[in-house]
Amino acid sequence: MKAKEIRSLSKEDLNVKLEELKKERIKLNAQISTGTTPKSPGQVREVKKNIARILTILTEKSKEVDNKT
């Protein structure tokens, strides 16, 4: 996901997407720990980056609300 796509989502949608990505990361880590290789090696990195992007944008949105009050 691109940051532009993530910014267009609401906070509720971002939280749902964050939970989905965390579950996916757990599955990928379980695959790696059991010795099987994931479909693509870069998938783990991409999931981690998407989680970080969502968390960053959630933080930005919460600061915007704080600054307006």
User: Quick one: pLDDT at residue 2?
Assistant: 84
User: Quick one: pLDDT at residue 69?
Assistant: 66
Chain mean pLDDT for the chain: 90
User: Quick one: pLDDT at residue 39?
Assistant: 77
- Considering Cα of 38, then 43, then 47, then 48, what sign does the dihedral take? positive
How does DSSP classify residue 21?
H
Instruction: Mention the CATH class of domain 3-68.
Output: mainly alpha
User: Quick one: pLDDT at residue 37?
Assistant: 78
User: Quick one: pLDDT at residue 68?
Assistant: 76
User: Quick one: pLDDT at residue 41?
Assistant: 80
Residues of the chain with pLDDT under 50: none
Q: 60 and 14 in contact (C-beta within 8 Å)?
A: no
